[in-house]
């Protein structure tokens, strides 16, 4: 019986050669400057595309951390980072002691989101019917906090809350619940719902005049302030970035 050692030796030699060939690129990747961006889940699609483009053009690494705006605020307070992009401005107010400046990027409006016509849901009052199942985001997600505030103020919350059968961490999750048929409807950001062509969107008068501006802020904890400023400028001023936001259904905002 032949000894297996020559075969093992050959395999080890090949592996060593592969690692040697890859080492310069691995070392280069580790030495690249990087940014950590805490980003609301609702902005996942445009931010992923814009970040990939910026990475390619500037040879850097951007680490995008997606979650609900409130969860991200808690995380960055513990871990630090470079940039914070929540879905609504009130989270930046809460983080005022942690940031240096804010820059508007886009806008979103809360709308009613349905899967189809089977439940004859046409208006906000239809969400109060006993046969309706709703998915809502948790209260520390921007859409969850915002919709609760508006519905409390209009005295609609109690009648709608009883039909919430699912509570999810982000607006993306609630829209997915509707898409999968797990629930009948949700109230979500229009830009998130528009990315699923199978869903029906109904504007709600109660929310139509309350668009929310998304703004990005540089964190005081950033160790790459110059690079963070470059990315903010790219995100808010470059026409290609503005086109990307529009492509995914986000509204425009006036620059600072």
The residues near 235 (Cβ < 8 Å, ≥ 6 apart) are 50, 103, 105, 216, 241
Q: Kindly report, residue by residue over 219-232, the tens digit of the pLDDT.
A: 999 999 999 999 99
pTM: 0.85
Residue 101 pLDDT level (bands cut at 50, 70, 90): confident
Structural domain boundaries in the chain? 32-107+213-247, 110-208
Superfamily of domain 32-107+213-247: Periplasmic binding protein-like II (3.40.190.10)
Q: Kindly report, residue by residue over 49-63, the tens digit of the pLDDT.
A: 999 999 999 999 999
Query: Do the two domains 32-107+213-247 and 110-208 of this chain adopt the same fold?
Result: yes
Return the CATH class of domain 110-208. alpha beta
Q: Tell me how many degrees the CA angle 79-82-85 measures, rounded to the nearest 5.
A: 95
Which residue ranges are tagged as binding site? 42, 69, 171
Residue 30 pLDDT level (bands cut at 50, 70, 90): low
State the DSSP string of 19-63: HHHHHHHHHHHHHS-EEEEEEEGGGHHHHHHHHHHHHHHHT-EEE
Please give the C-alpha separations between residue 150 and each of 89, 109, 124, 133, 251, in angstroms, as whole numbers: 15, 12, 12, 20, 21
| Rg of the chain, C-alpha, whole Å | 23
Which residue ranges are tagged as binding site for molybdate? 42, 69, 171
């Amino acid at each position: 019986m032949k000894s297996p050692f020559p075969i093992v030796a050959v395999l080890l030699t090949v592996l060593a050669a592969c690692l040697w060939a890859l080492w310069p690129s691995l070392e280069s990747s580790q030495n690249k400057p990087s940014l950590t961006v805490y980003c609301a889940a609702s902005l996942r699609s445009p931010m992923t595309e814009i970040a990939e483009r910026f990475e390619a053009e500037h040879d850097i690494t951007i680490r995008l951390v997606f979650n609900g705006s409130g969860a991200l605020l808690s995380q960055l307070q513990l871990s630090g980072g470079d940039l914070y992009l929540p879905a609504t401005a009130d989270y930046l107010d809460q983080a005022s002691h942690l940031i240096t400046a804010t820059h508007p990027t886009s806008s979103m409006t809360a709308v009613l989101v349905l899967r189809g016509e089977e439940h004859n849901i046409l208006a906000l009052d239809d969400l109060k019917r006993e046969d309706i199942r709703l998915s809502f985001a948790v209260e520390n997600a921007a859409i969850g906090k915002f919709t609760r505030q508006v519905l409390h103020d209009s005295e609609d919350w109690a009648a709608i809350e009883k039909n919430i059968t699912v509570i999810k961490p982000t607006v993306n999750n609630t829209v997915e619940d509707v898409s999968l048929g797990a629930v009948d409807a949700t109230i979500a950001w229009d830009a998130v719902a528009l990315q699923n062509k199978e869903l029906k969107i109904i504007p709600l008068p109660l929310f139509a005049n309350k668009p929310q501006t998304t703004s990005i802020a540089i964190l005081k904890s950033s160790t790459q302030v110059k690079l963070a400023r470059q990315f903010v400028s790219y995100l808010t001023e470059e026409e290609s970035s503005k086109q990307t936001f529009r492509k995914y259904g986000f509204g425009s905002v006036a620059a600072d």
